């Protein structure tokens, strides 16, 4: 199936063709590990997880790499503030990220390179840039000289002159041009650092991605993804340094950028303090609710996070699971994902469309509930999108919650006894009592089932 993707570089939707059909390559900017992660961090993970699945469905070998930035000033600052070793911060944060992703049903990427594992390669990368006159040493720093790269600004569609004009770019006196960016910066004694030809120091942020892409994949990859806010300066700088290092080879053929998660009309960001941590959200809702919420709008659009959004996702999944709860589990191993779902996702990862297809499959399924083929295909397709992995019964009663199933079962028996003797006021009292406990009853034919109230 033809995959079409909006390429930020050309600002057009293009048909995706890998350089090598036998080995498709994708790199996505992962987290900087210095704390807990918010839903804004989850969005690219979910989006590119879907894309990876789609690519794997189409091509034999897909290598998807998502990095971990484990050296950065923010990490250093966090370590100082908490008075602990840097490694303690990065380990904890990385573990948190992994468990968050798992609960969101985000599959592991094939490779997960850590910046600190590529320091010597980064040093070589810088040396090469210096040799080629694309970088210069100044006061212990090594800086990339943007004037040595004519296309600077192309990826993010901006003119360096405009940016300097009315902008907030701080002019450091060790820079030739205000937009020159740091490849290597000196470290104080109490800061993490590595020896280099320019003294003890650490790499600049942008360098790791270029270096790791070169080491893992080679000069040019098929797809490079990340948040819209990384387009400039991060990706622009990656482009610049890789282009120069690799003698004019493009770093990536397709650039994909996801829109920001917004809280009440403005971007969720740590500096604004309006963040929602994934681990906190997971106290109130299952991972699939977060995942469905994140997929409810197209990945390039901003996504407004709200209670309404979450409630709707909850409701949708509850409806699906309630239906499935009435039937036995089925083996879906050899079932195909619905073609219309695939074609929706193949059209620039159109998740809202795919979700609406899922709804229409569900509608058909309800009309023909014993149709095993339809049911398998529905579940398989939902699974493909990272949904409906729970056992329906577990989802509905949420066994991890603190309701006592024994007490509930006894009350249900008591109520049904009352109903049989037409003692309806007693029956209704029991139902109200259960409702107060957060339990909703459903009388279907002669059987009474229950589920947790959707709150």
Partner RNA sequence: GGUUGGAUAACAUAAUGGUAAUGUAUAAGAUUGCAAAUCUUAGAAUGACGGUUCAAUUCCGUCUCUAACCUCCA
Give the footprint of RNA on residues 98-127 (CB under 7 A): none
Residues 317-336 that bind RNA (CB under 7 A): 319, 322
Which window, 187-195, 238-246, 300-308, 393-401, contacts RNA (CB under 7 A)? 300-308
Nearer to RNA, 21 or 139 (CB): 139
Q: How far is the CB of 37 from RNA (least distance, A)?
A: 7
Contact at 8 Å (CB) between 180 and 129?
A: no
Nearer to RNA, 60 or 161 (CB): 161
**Residue 205 binds RNA (CB under 7 A):** yes
Residues 409-428 that bind RNA (CB under 7 A): 419, 424-425, 427-428
Residue corresponding to tokens 């191993």? 333
Residue 261: is it exposed, middle or buried by C-beta count within 10 angstroms (0-12/13-18/19+)?
A: buried
Nearer to RNA, 44 or 392 (CB): 44
Q: How far is the CB of 254 from RNA (least distance, A)?
A: 16
Residue corresponding to tokens 């270096």? 211
Nearer to RNA, 133 or 414 (CB): 414
**Residue 51 binds RNA (CB under 7 A):** no
Q: Can you read off the two tokens belonging to residue 280?
A: 């906190």
Nearer to RNA, 44 or 109 (CB): 44
Nearer to RNA, 227 or 286 (CB): 227
Using CB under 7 A, which of 3, 209, 303, 345 touches RNA? Answer: 303
CA atoms within 13 A on the CB side of 1: 20
Nearer to RNA, 172 or 188 (CB): 172
DSSP class of 7: E
DSSP class of 316: H
CA–CA separation, 222 and 107 (whole Å) = 20
Handedness of CA 186, 187, 192, 195 (dihedral sign): positive
Rounded alpha-carbon distances, angstroms, from residue 10 to 2, 28, 151, 316: 19, 19, 14, 37
Q: How far is the CB of 60 from RNA (least distance, A)?
A: 28
Left if phi > 0, otherwise alpha if psi is -120 to 50, otherwise beta: which for 266? beta
Using CB under 7 A, which of 138, 148, 296, 376 touches RNA? Answer: 296
Nearer to RNA, 92 or 304 (CB): 304
Which window, 57-65, 79-87, 258-266, 386-394, contacts RNA (CB under 7 A)? 258-266
CA–CA separation, 295 and 348 (whole Å) = 13
Nearer to RNA, 222 or 238 (CB): 238
Q: How far is the CB of 11 from RNA (least distance, A)?
A: 5
Nearer to RNA, 260 or 332 (CB): 260
Q: How far is the CB of 34 from RNA (least distance, A)?
A: 9
Pick from 131, 150, 155, 145: nearest CA to 177: 145
CA–CA separation, 314 and 50 (whole Å) = 20
Residues 6+ apart with CB under 8 A from 113: 65, 67, 68, 212, 215, 216
Nearer to RNA, 18 or 35 (CB): 35
Q: How far is the CB of 172 from RNA (least distance, A)?
A: 11
Using CB under 7 A, which of 151, 301, 336, 394 touches RNA? Answer: 301
Handedness of CA 405, 406, 411, 414 (dihedral sign): positive
**Residue 260 binds RNA (CB under 7 A):** yes
**Residue 268 binds RNA (CB under 7 A):** yes
**Residue 92 binds RNA (CB under 7 A):** no
Residues 208-237 that bind RNA (CB under 7 A): 226-234
DSSP class of 455: -
Runs of H (alpha helix) within 59-201: 73-82, 86-103, 119-131, 160-165
Q: How far is the CB of 88 from RNA (least distance, A)?
A: 19
Residue corresponding to tokens 């968050």? 100
| H/E segment holding residue 261 | strand 261-263
Using CB under 7 A, which of 110, 246, 312, 343 touches RNA? Answer: 312
**Residue 71 binds RNA (CB under 7 A):** no
Residue corresponding to tokens 């189409």? 58
Contact at 8 Å (CB) between 179 and 199?
A: no
| Interaction pattern, residues 336-365, with RNA; x per rule: CB under 7 A | -----------xx-x-xx-xx--xx--x--
Helix orientation angle between 39-58 and 339-346, rounded to the nearest 10 degrees? 120
Applying CB under 7 A, what is the total number of residues that bind RNA? 85
| Interaction pattern, residues 155-174, with RNA; x per rule: CB under 7 A | -xxxx--xx-xxxxxx----
Residues 363-382 that bind RNA (CB under 7 A): 363, 366-367
């Amino acid at each position: 199936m033809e995959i079409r993707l909006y390429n930020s570089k050309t600002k057009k939707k293009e048909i995706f063709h890998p350089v090598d059909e036998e080995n498709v390559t994708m790199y996505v900017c992962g987290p900087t590990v210095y704390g807990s992660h918010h839903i804004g961090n989850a969005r690219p993970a979910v989006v590119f997880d879907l894309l990876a699945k789609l690519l794997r469905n189409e091509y034999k070998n897909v290598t998807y790499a998502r990095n971990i930035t484990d050296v950065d000033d923010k990490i250093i600052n966090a370590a100082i503030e908490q008075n602990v070793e840097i490694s303690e911060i990065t380990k904890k944060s990385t573990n948190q990220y992994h468990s968050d992703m798992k609960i969101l049903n985000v599959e592991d990427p094939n490779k997960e390179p850590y910046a600190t594992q590529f320091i010597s390669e980064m040093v070589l990368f810088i040396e090469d840039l210096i040799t080629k006159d694309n970088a210069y040493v100044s006061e212990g720093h090594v800086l990339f000289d943007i004037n040595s790269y004519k296309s600077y600004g192309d990826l993010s569609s901006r003119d360096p002159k405009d940016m300097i004009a009315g902008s907030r770019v701080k002019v450091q006196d060790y820079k030739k041009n205000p937009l020159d960016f740091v490849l290597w910066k000196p470290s104080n004694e109490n800061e993490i650092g590595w020896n280099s030809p320019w003294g003890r120091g650490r790499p600049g942020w942008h360098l790791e991605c270029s270096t790791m892409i070169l080491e893992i994949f080679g000069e040019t990859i098929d797809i490079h993804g990340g948040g819209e806010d990384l387009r400039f300066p991060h990706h622009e700088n990656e482009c610049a340094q890789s282009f120069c290092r690799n003698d004019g080879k493009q770093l990536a053929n397709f650039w994909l950028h996801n829109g920001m998660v917004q809280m009440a009309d403005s971007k969720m960001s740590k500096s604004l303090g309006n963040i929602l941590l994934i681990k906190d959200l997971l106290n109130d809702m299952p991972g699939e609710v977060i995942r469905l919420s994140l997929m409810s709008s197209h990945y390039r659009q901003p996504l407004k996070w709200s209670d309404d959004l979450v409630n709707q996702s909850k409701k949708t999944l509850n409806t699906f699971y309630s239906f499935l709860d009435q039937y036995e589990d089925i083996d879906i191993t050899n079932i195909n994902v619905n073609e219309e779902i695939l074609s929706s996702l193949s059209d620039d990862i159109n998740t809202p469309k795919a979700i609406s297809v899922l709804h229409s499959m569900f509608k058909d399924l309800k009309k023909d509930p014993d149709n095993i083929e339809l049911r398998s295909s529905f579940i398989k397709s939902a699974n493909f999108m990272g949904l409906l992995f729970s056992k329906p019964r577990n989802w509905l009663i949420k066994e991890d919650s603190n309701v006592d199933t024994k007490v509930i079962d006894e009350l249900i028996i008591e109520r049904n006894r009352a109903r049989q003797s037409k003692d309806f006021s007693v029956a209704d009292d029991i139902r109200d009592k259960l409702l107060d406990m957060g339990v909703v009853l459903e009388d279907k034919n002669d059987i009474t089932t229950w589920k947790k109230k959707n709150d």
